[in-house]
Chain A
Amino acid sequence: RKEVEQDPGPFNVPEGATVAFNCTYSNSASQSFFWYRQDCRKEPKLLMSVYSSGNEDGRFTAQLNRASQYISLLIRDSKLSDSATYLCAVNFQAGTALIFGKGTTLSVSS
């Protein structure tokens, strides 16, 4: 079983749609959780950290469910510019390497 699993998609949605991605992790010792965005042939960029209480940043909402070992990312009012691959990542303590999922591809069309 892979450590971090994501539905690869692709998710094809129209502008303005709400889309949700899930990610599961296998190691219950995981401490920190993140969503990254990666554009084609570029490095990943941090979208948001995921906190136990859930957190929101504009149109993006991240949630963590430790009991079920999954994290989610909700994107509201999708924009064309949201088209990218979204990677979830976990690590076991601050300053250690990240373990990434394969990523979920989102394509937003007009």
Chain B
Amino acid sequence: GAVVSQHPSWVICKSGTSVKIECRSLDFQATTMFWYRQFPKQSLMLMATSNEGSKATYEQGVEKDKFLINHASLTLSTLTVTSAHPEDSSFYICSVSRSSYNEQFFGPGTRLTVL
């Protein structure tokens, strides 16, 4: 069965809307989750590392005020795309790491389309 779930699986919204994406670790508690973004025909690019109970660590070039991450529990991290614009349209994927096995489990992804 799935180890990581994401909700919603797809969303279409108007420019200026804020969109919240949830990532849940179903099988184990995760102190760390990762958020990636993938544009068409591009690689998955790490956006930020979400840490339970503390601030997320953002990669260079990713605006922390635009992409709000909240990791309030050991099984849930949320990514909010604030005031979304068409250039934010992308495939957003979270992952959970089981560090003892160095294996990452990916959520099914959220396809965001901003009109």
Contact = CB atoms under 8 A, between A and B. Distances in A.
B100 interface: yes
A1 interface: no
B100 A102 contact: no
Interface residues of A, number: 22
Contacts of A41: 91, 111
Interface in B24-60: 32, 34, 41-46, 49
Contacts of A95: 32, 97, 99, 102
Contacts of A49: 102-103
Contact of A43 (B41, B42, B101, B107): B107
B108 A43 contact: yes
A94 B93 contact: no
A54 B100 CA distance: 21
Contact of B44 (A8, A44, A46): A44
Contacts of A8: 41
A94 B108 contact: no
B106 A101 contact: no
17 contacts: A8-B41, A32-B102, A43-B106, A43-B109, A87-B43, A94-B101, A95-B32, A97-B34, A98-B34, A98-B46, A98-B104, A99-B46, A100-B44, A100-B45, A102-B41, A102-B42, A102-B43
